[in-house]
Amino acid sequence: MSTMSMQTDQDQSVPKMQTPQMPGSHLTLARGVLAFAGREFRDAVSSKWFLLYTVAFSVLAIAVSFVSLAGSGAQGFAGFGRTAAGLLNLIMLIVPLMALTAGAGSVAGERERGTLLYLLAQPISRTELLLGKYLGLAVALCCSLCVGFGLSAAVLAWRAGGVGIGSFLMLVLFTCVLALSMLSVGILISVMSRRSGVATGLGLFCWLALVFLSDLGLMAGTVIFRLRVQEVFALAIINPLQAFKMGVIVNLNASLDVLGPVGMYASQTYGKALPWLLASVVVLWVLLPLMLAIVLFKRRKGI
């Protein structure tokens, strides 16, 4: 009858009920993670959101580069400084949005489609699945950012020469770390949400809170509670976007004095340790939400 008739080679098909020897746990973990990461990367780069964000970021990055250079008529490092300042605002607006929505849709989307159950029924652990998804999305996001930055760098090299390329590369690196931190938050939201629509909504709210509301809240809190400068600084750098912004400004060899008394306080108090402090805050935002997401995912009573 059928196309489904099985090959019945008795010697081969009679199963042996021997427990398979599993290789070292770290090795199997890495293999599982890489298998998921590969699939997640392919899914991401072939998706519409990836294309849309990449195009949007690239076009805006090129536009900012042209406008900054044309506006100043500057050459060399001065031109780079203006471009980086322009890019900084663009990055703070778009990169968290990209990363949060990508992360938020990941696990919740699989859960909603029913594919998560099927994947969890395979010989993999929940940690492997989550780390694999994270890694795949992280690589896709960084590639997307590198396309935009690469085009912007081409404009800079053409109009302003190669001066300041080291600082530019640091900007790219900082931005990738910021993207990873927001991706971690997005994955955490995704693990906690049943539906991808809810997860995306929460991701957007989180973006709004980090980009706009926290600044407003900090300003209001400073006035109402008459916060001291060190308290304002501490509260400001809790927000990874603010830590990122200050880190980039310090990296541009600019004084944090432009940020007012809080910037002056930070420069005077922490000195050369300030870039490390700010980078640590953003790195903590990469690690802590991701670790919390893994713990919650492993402890879920259902899918």
The residues that touch other proteins, with contacts defined as CB under 8 A, are 1-8, 10, 13-17, 19-20, 22, 28, 31-32, 34-36, 38-39, 42-43, 46, 113-115, 117-118, 120-125, 301-303
How many Å apart are CA 218 and CA 282, to the nearest integer?
19
By C-beta, is 124 or 202 nearer to other proteins? 124
How many Å apart are CA 285 and CA 207, to the nearest integer?
14
| Residues with Cβ within 8 Å of residue 160, at least 6 apart in sequence | 69, 74, 75, 76, 79, 80, 83
Nearest to 76 by CA among 192, 163, 153: 163
* Residue at 137: amino acid letter: L
Structure tokens at 98: 């990209």
* Residue at 74: amino acid letter: A
Q: How far is the CB of 232 from other proteins (least distance, A)?
A: 45
Q: How far is the CB of 23 from other proteins (least distance, A)?
A: 8
Placement of tokens 């492993």 in the chain: 298
By C-beta, is 1 or 224 nearer to other proteins? 1
| Residue 114, Ramachandran bin (φ over 0: left; ψ between -120 and 50: alpha; else beta) | left
By C-beta, is 9 or 224 nearer to other proteins? 9
Q: How far is the CB of 107 from other proteins (least distance, A)?
A: 14
By C-beta, is 31 or 159 nearer to other proteins? 31
Placement of tokens 């990122």 in the chain: 244
| Residues with Cβ within 8 Å of residue 127, at least 6 apart in sequence | 29, 294, 297, 298
By C-beta, is 124 or 138 nearer to other proteins? 124
By C-beta, is 1 or 223 nearer to other proteins? 1
Nearest to 182 by CA among 241, 237, 249: 241
Q: How far is the CB of 54 from other proteins (least distance, A)?
A: 18
Q: How far is the CB of 182 from other proteins (least distance, A)?
A: 25
Q: How far is the CB of 30 from other proteins (least distance, A)?
A: 11
By C-beta, is 19 or 223 nearer to other proteins? 19
Nearest to 244 by CA among 278, 288, 283, 267: 278
Q: How far is the CB of 32 from other proteins (least distance, A)?
A: 7
